[in-house]
Amino acid sequence: MTAGLDRGSVARAAGGTRVASLTGIRAVAALLVVATHAAYATGKYTHGYVGLLYSRLEIGVPIFFVLSGFLLFRPWVRAAATGGPDPSVRRYAWHRVRRIMPAYAVTVLAAFALYHFHEAGPNPGHTWIGLLRNLTLTQLYTDNYDYGYLHQGLTQMWSLAVEVSFYVVLPALSYFLLVSVGRRVWRPGLLLTSIAVLGLISPAWLLLVHNTDLLPNGARLWLPTYLLWFLAGMVLTVLQAMGVRCNAFVVLPIAVFSFFIAATPIAGEPTTSPTGLAQAIVKTVFYAAIAALLLAPAALGDDGWYTRFLGSRPMVWLGEISYEIFLVHLVLMEIAMTFVLHKQVYTGSMTGLFVVTMALTIPVAWLLHRFTRVRPTTR
């Protein structure tokens, strides 16, 4: 979830309000993730339709994934559209590692150190192999995910593991779309059609994991389930290269209406992975559409009130530390719940927990960002 978290690559890609708004929407995504976890920790998921609404605030994760697809696919699309050279895969890989790993490693080590002295219920991942798995973002690849390498304060990192797997496959995916299929000729219609066909991988994978015992139970959280979200961002990349424009007044009402639909049982129970196949597919498709619609005005050149709000100084500042907010907020939410609010899990005020967690998280995230961020080079 961090391509969208890489403010440097965004800032250098374009200028003005659109760049700022792409940073600001990361703040929205991070705040939504913190809010849904605050709702879960205070027991609000069980409150009927309102509980489903709170659980669907996890839409912050799809926003991050769509933004990653949009940003990271752009160099390949730009090369195809202009006839320029392909991006350097080595440079791309190094930038990804350099961007995500320092802050992530610090967070994982800090969480393991903290929970070595502080017990907060079952913590199956608190082993040496659990530490290795979490540091290498391979905690998903097990047949015992729920009781294997999950660690207190780090349970949200499943989405970062998915994001990293997308980083790994993106160069090959781009080569397939633009070279194997497109023959290095800029044909946006063919490119969009090819991306749409690849989007069938997600429902096909869900069909597979819901009907076989041959795959590990962690397979429901692997990249194929969420590939559609990244592909939605890649579609926005192609549309941007085609010069397509988007008006927030048109797409935002559709996004909001779709969100309220997704907050019904049609998209399953308030869990990351619905147990029913139909609900899992509906949730995946709706989340891809909602996240893409929320990103579209900023990605496709709208300069109205929505883009200006996302590009405002407070939103941009929060967006710049959104990755670090994502990394540390669960550890600090536990501290807020136990030592500040003195509440047991599944009790207390969601709003109160959210406010206290953000009060603790923002300075810690800023410090982590300050000391681990990628500094621009002059090369």
DSSP class per residue in 277-325: HHHHHHHHHHHHHHHHHHHHHHHTT--SHHHHHHTSHHHHHHHHTHHHH
Residue 5 has pLDDT above 60, yes or no: no
One-letter identity of residue 96: R
Lowest mean pLDDT among 18-27, 202-211, 250-259, 281-290: 18-27
Tally of CB atoms within 10 A around 242 = 15
pLDDT tens digits for 241-266? 999 999 999 999 999 999 999 999 99
Residue 7 has pLDDT above 80, yes or no: no
> pLDDT value at position 25?
97
Cα(76)–Cα(237) distance, rounded to whole angstroms?
10
Average pLDDT taken over every residue of the chain:
92
Cα(327)–Cα(5) distance, rounded to whole angstroms?
12
113-126 average pLDDT score: 87
Contacts of 236 by beta carbon, 8 Å cutoff, 6+ apart: 66, 69, 70, 292, 295, 296, 299, 300
> pLDDT value at position 118?
82
pLDDT tens digits for 261-280? 999 999 999 988 899 999 99
> pLDDT value at position 144?
81
Burial (CB count <10 Å: 0-12, 13-18, 19+), residue 226: buried
Token duo for residue 90: 């080595």
Is 198 in contact with 227 (CB distance < 8 Å)? yes
Lowest mean pLDDT among 49-53, 87-91, 117-121, 373-377: 373-377
> pLDDT value at position 151?
93
Token duo for residue 201: 């991988």
pLDDT band at 110, cuts 50/70/90? very high
152-178 average pLDDT score: 97
SS3 content of the chain, % helix, strand, coil (to 5): 75, 0, 25
Share of the chain above pLDDT 90, in %: 85
For the chain, the C-alpha Rg in angstroms (whole number) is: 20
φ/ψ bin of 243: left (φ > 0), alpha (ψ from -120 to 50), beta (otherwise):
left
pLDDT tens digits for 15-24? 445 589 999 9
Tally of CB atoms within 10 A around 142 = 17
136-164 average pLDDT score: 92
- How big is the chain, counted in residues? 379
Instruction: Give pTM, 2 decimals.
Output: 0.93
Is 26 in contact with 319 (CB distance < 8 Å)? yes
Cα(23)–Cα(185) distance, rounded to whole angstroms?
31
Tally of CB atoms within 10 A around 200 = 11
Q: Residue 183 in 3-state DSSP? A: coil
Tally of CB atoms within 10 A around 239 = 19
Inter-CA distances, 284 with 69, 277, 289, Å: 16, 11, 9
Contacts of 213 by beta carbon, 8 Å cutoff, 6+ apart: none
